[in-house]
Each structure stands twice: as structure tokens, then as C-alpha cells.
Structure 1
Amino acid sequence: MTSTPVARRTAAAGPSSADALVPSTARTRSAEVEELIHRDPGRFRVLTGDRPTGQLHLGHYFGTLHNRVRLQNLGVEMLVLIADYQVLTDRDTADRLSEHVEGLVLDYLAIGVDPARSTVFAHSAVPALNQLLLPFLSLVSVAELGRNPTVKDEIAHSRQSSVSGLMFTYPLHQAADILFCKANLVPVGQDQLPHLELARTVARRFNDRYGAGTALFPEPDALLSAAPLLLGTDGAKMSKSRGNAIRLAADADETARLIRGARTDAHRHITYDPVNRPEVSNLVMLAALCLDRDPHQVADDIGGAGAAALKDTVSEAVNEFLAPIRARRRQLAQDRGHIRQVLREGNQRANAIAEATLDEVRTAMNSRY
């Protein structure tokens, strides 16, 4: 099997603490699926996507975006969801939603998502997808929804005085996202495995209750990310909402400024030691990812030159890596009509898929009138 550069570098860096939390069966199955992709990519349909809450950043790129392009280029059918309805799960209003949706499309196209081979679409434009949420809700209990760790975490950290019903049903909405197109493969991080397991449960229960011996829905597999978790410039998880992220669309000066202000530590000699020196190691890893090098080698090259030299190396590597993506994005941004056309065509394809699935569901449930 030919691994991606990110996978090779992560292996060289050693297993992360997050890896230890992933069940061995999930890791084994993910490796098996990766082998199958290379043998027969056409057998797979992938569903993936993002919430339009702001511009995408380097954490998104190395975490998921580059892998979407890799799978697309291998010949896997790719559906990329802009989850605009999910913005409402934890926000009273969806400020600048249209701008953020167009921004996601720009980012996707700039990194190499090809609308001729990948379907880019929005939640709110596909009514039949959202209609599947109702029968799916009948297949799970309130207790099962409440036990979902992501929902529990979101509720615990919600800034609102109360939690909406949409937030509570968030895992079922994700199940509808996956199953409406009968996706059989979903790239995820370890924290998203419970969501995927619920989608598998819904598929299994629907097939058992209504399938009459046939499997209307596949039970999708997880393709686990091999990418490391990138920290933001403040040492916390890189996030759009924290203001600690390097946006793909940022210019070179903004990027250099953010990296100059990144946290390091008091030790001058640069080493790659994620456990004991997380902030320094994060900068080393960022440079290594952009340079396609081993992080230990990057750290050794800088050695005793200190944090200033490290930050200069990172700034140069990031700006050089992002330069063609940013140039492409600027060019695409001049034609809003093209961006809207990409989304319209993707919405049309997604609607055709969703309506066909909903028609099958109605037949299976004996609700065609």
C-alpha cells in the first residue's frame, strides 16, 4: 500500500495519545479499507463535509481536506456536504451564512476538489435528505441520543442558556447525511466514531424492520485519519472560533504575524517532543507537513538557533506551501457566478440521489399513497 505523506510522517513521529483511544478493531478495519480503496476505488462512495462557520484553516487541510482530494483522485466517488442546517445546532443566528457557504466552496475548489468528480452540496437545498430524519428518529431511543459523547460535550460547553432539540438530534442528522446517499465509507477522527456507529445502528435497524430480507442501507465503514492534531498559535486546538488558526485564505503577512506570536517555551534548543514540548513540537510538525519532511529532521536542522529561527522556518514553509492554493482561490473569487453554479449543480445531483433513496424508503415502509 502507498501511504500519503501525512501518514508516513505520523508513523515516523510515533503513535499519538489519540491513537490509543481508537479501538483496535476500528484501526484494523480502517487499514483493510485503505487496501481495498487502492484495489477498487470505484466500489466506494464517501460522504464528508464541514459546517459553514468561517474560513477553513491548516488544521482542516492536513486533517481532512488533503485526504478528500487524494480519495477523489484515486477514483472514489465523493460527496462533500456543506452542513448549513447544522450551524443552527449551537447558535441562535447564522451570521454571514451565505458568505461562509461560498467561502467553503472557494476553499474546496482551491485545494483541488473537482466538481466534475465530487458533488458539493448544501443541507438546506436537499429536502429529501432532511425528511429521512423523521423515520430515523423512530429507530433510536432518547437515552441513546443522550449517551452520544459529542452531544454530551456540546451540551456541557454550550454558551446558550438552553439546548435546542436540533442539537439533541445532531447525531441522527449526521446519520441521514451519510445514509441518504448510501455512503459506505466516512473519513473520521476517533472522536467521531460514536456518530458513525449510530449511523450503522440506524442502517441495521431500518434494514431489519423494513428491509424484508434486503439491505436498503449499507453499514458504512470508518476511514480513520492518520493526520496529527494541529494546535493553534495559542497552544489550544486550532479552531475557527478561537482566532488561533492560520486560514488557507490568509495572506503571507498575516500568516507570518500569527506564527511570530505562537507560543513556544523557555528552552532554546529545538527538539521534536510532542509530549513534553507540545507548542514547539506543533510548530515543527507544521513545517514538516508543509515541507514533506520528518519532524525530527526539521528540528535537528534548527537545533540551537532557537524559537525565532523555528518561527522563520515555519512561516516560510507555510507561505510557500499555501501560495498556489491562495493564488487559485483569488482567481476563483473573481467569478461568484461560477461558485454558485458549482453549488447549484451539486445540489441538483444530491437531490436526485436523495429523492431516489426517499422513494425506496417509502416503498419499504409501505407509505406510498
Structure 2
Amino acid sequence: MTRILTGDRPTGPLHLGHYFGTLHNRVRLQNEGAEVVLVIADYQVITDRDLADDLLGHTERLVLDYLAAGIDPARTTVFTHSAVPALNQLLLPFLSLVSVAELGRNPTVKDEIAHSRQSAVSGLMYTYPAHQAADILFCKPDLVPVGQDQAPHLEVTRTIARRFNDRYGHVFPEPEILLSDTPLLLGTDGTKMSKSRGNAIPLGATPDETAAVIRRATTDPDRRITYEPDTRPHVANLLRLAALCQDRDPYEIATEIGDGGAAALKRHVTDAVNTFLAPMRARRAEYARDLSYVREVLREGNKRANAIAEATLDEVRAAMGGFR
């Protein structure tokens, strides 16, 4: 059976970029019979911020987003990093396998530093790729579904696995990167869609909240709506979002809106997004009525993840010559 590992930091609600970038792929793979492992990387929250604000609340809301999107805890292991101590034991030998220069060159780290909420960039920021490698390799996955922006981290993970195997003997597979075939969705301001930048549409947003976010979206002065990603990226991004939600061609939607201008485009996108999210929102509201189920999902997932991680750590210690 193919094992898939992926996850998220509990720093806020998942948004449409997450859904089309990776979450829908996770659900698809789960439904096709793959063994899916989802890490909620709670320790990594303090990578780019001084405090882990409302960590428990963010974690529970993240699980709600998973459940609403179709993640099934009977077939997918959902766990929190902090509940699995062996992951941090793996971090130490992994850090010995990469240089400071390699960590500093990582483009994802550079981007996170540029948008860090910390008063000063911490050492944890530079260890982030190795930290993520521990989160991934502990369960020896075959595939890791990620968005394009996370691909550099996966390359570090593959490098660490290869170097460990070369130095100590084969323990880890080099997981393959599974990139989404969905084009990158930008935020409503034209930059990377991000929870921290306030330019995303959360999966759990109300219809009115969704409409408000889309109304603020950047467009351009040309009244005629056309799909031209290279020359009209902001308009193209909105058309792409509507097309994904409606499973349509963005060129067709642009032709349909024609001379309606930005207002008509935004109305169309708002209707498309709200219609698409309606079933997800209904499921989310149902699960939110009883958070004891969410907590049980985490308890069971943590138990399974600990068993896997301890077994891997035993292999690592033995390979390295008897660490205990």
C-alpha cells in the first residue's frame, strides 16, 4: 500500500489555496486506497512567530477543515507533532546531515523570513527544513503531496534521507514529490495566498465573509474581461478560481462575462465559490457541534503516529551505532 505524508501548521484556517493545492489531492488519494498520514505541525508555529497564539483552537479548527473536506479518520492518521516526542529525537541526527549554507539558501525559508512575525529571526527558522524532514521521514512515506512553494523543502528531505542512508545504511526511502496539477492560486491582492497576509478565502468563511474578501480583490481598469495570465494576472487569478470551483474553462467564463467589468467578474466568482463551499461548510458546522469527536480523532491519531515513530527511531539508533 502506498503511504502518503503531508500536513499543515495550525496558524489559522485552511483556505481555497490549500484546498486546490493539496487538500483535494489528499482526499482523492485516501479514497483510492492509499495510507494517508496528516501531521499538524504545531511545534513549527513558533518558527516564524514569537508565540503560538490559540494553538489548541487552531488545531481543532484545522481538524474541522480536514473532516469537512472529506478526510476520514478511519483511513487517515491525523496527529500533532508535539504529541510524538520521537520526531524531535530524529531532528538532531538530521541536522548533522545538512550545512548551514544549505539551510540558508532554501527559497521557502527566505520567503518565510521575509514575512516573519518574530521580533528577530530565530535559529528555529533555519532548522525548519530539517524539522520538516523529521515530520516526513518518520513514517517512511512513498509520496508527499505539496504545492509548488513547498517543493524546496521536499528536496531537503530527500537529501537528508539519501545522506543518512549513505552514512549509516539504508533506513529511509527518498519520498517522491507529488505536485498538484492545479495552477498556483494567488491571494486577492495578487501576492501568494496566505493565512497570515489576509488575502485568502478560508474554507469555513461565511458567504458574506467570502463576498467581502472577493470585493477587495485587485483587478485592472480594462472593463472587458479576458483570460490573459501573462498580461492580466489579477483578473486571470479570479477567473481561474471560478473555473476551479465550477470545473469550467476560464476562457469560457471570461467570454460569458464579456464587458461586465470587474463588478460582474467578482459577482460571478463569489457565486462560484459560495456554491462550491456550501456542502463543506454544512459538514463543518455539523462536526463543530461536538468537538469531543475532533479530540478523539487526535487521540487515536497520536497513538498510531507514536507507534510508527518509535519503531523508526529504534532503527535510526541501531543504524547509528547504539544510541539509546
TM-score > 0.5 by shorter chain: yes
CA distance in 1 between counterparts of 2:266 and 2:111 reads 34
* Residue correspondence of structure 1 range 4-23 to structure 2 within 5 A: none
Bigger Cα displacement from structure 2, 239-248 vs 93-102: 239-248
Contact 2:50-2:119 within 8 A present in 1 as well: no
Contact 2:148-2:179 within 8 A present in 1 as well: yes
- Correspondence for 1:106: 64
Question: How far off its partner does 1:313 sit?
Answer: 1.2
Task: Pick the aligned partner of 1:217 from 148, 172, 181.
Answer: 172
* Residue correspondence of structure 1 range 1-369 to structure 2 within 5 A: 42=1, 44-211=2-169, 215-367=170-322
Counterpart code for 1:242: R
CA distance in 1 between counterparts of 2:129 and 2:282 reads 37
Question: How far off its partner does 1:343 sit?
Answer: 0.7
Question: CA-to-partner distance for each residue in 1:104-156, whole Å, 9 max, x for gaps?
Answer: 00000000001111111111000011210111122222222222222233334
Bigger Cα displacement from structure 2, 329-338 vs 269-278: 269-278
SS of residue paired to 1:241: helix
Bigger Cα displacement from structure 2, 257-266 vs 74-83: 257-266
Contact 2:3-2:34 within 8 A present in 1 as well: yes
Contact 2:15-2:202 within 8 A present in 1 as well: yes
Counterpart code for 2:197: R
Question: CA-to-partner distance for each residue in 1:85-118, whole Å, 9 max, x for gaps?
Answer: 1101111101111100001000000000011111
SS of residue paired to 1:46: strand
SS of residue paired to 1:174: helix
SS of residue paired to 2:182: coil
Counterpart code for 2:5: L
Question: How far off its partner does 1:161 sit?
Answer: 4.3
Contact 2:36-2:75 within 8 A present in 1 as well: yes
Counterpart code for 1:118: T
Identity in percent? 74
Counterpart code for 2:76: S
TM-score, structure 2 length as denominator?
Answer: 0.96
CA distance in 1 between counterparts of 2:116 and 2:271 reads 38
Question: How far off its partner does 1:368 sit?
Answer: 5.3
SS of residue paired to 1:132: helix
Contact 2:50-2:117 within 8 A present in 1 as well: no
Bigger Cα displacement from structure 2, 130-139 vs 100-109: 130-139
Root mean square deviation of aligned Cα:
1.5
Question: Which blocks of at least 5 consecutive residues in structure 2 are unaligned?
Answer: none
Contact 2:49-2:116 within 8 A present in 1 as well: no
Question: Which blocks of at least 5 consecutive residues in structure 1 are unaligned?
Answer: 1-41
Question: CA-to-partner distance for each residue in 1:183-208, whole Å, 9 max, x for gaps?
Answer: 12111233333322221221122212
SS of residue paired to 1:192: helix
CA distance in 2 between counterparts of 1:308 and 1:265 reads 11
CA distance in 2 between counterparts of 1:188 and 1:252 reads 28
Counterpart code for 2:234: E
Counterpart code for 2:218: R
TM-score, structure 1 length as denominator?
Answer: 0.84
Contact 2:226-2:255 within 8 A present in 1 as well: yes
1:132 and 1:73, CA in 2 relative to 1: closer, same or farther beyond 3 A?
same
Question: How far off its partner does 1:282 sit?
Answer: 1.3
CA distance in 2 between counterparts of 1:261 and 1:364 reads 55
Question: CA-to-partner distance for each residue in 1:328-353, whole Å, 9 max, x for gaps?
Answer: 00000011100000011111111010
CA distance in 2 between counterparts of 1:193 and 1:57 reads 19
Counterpart code for 1:363: A
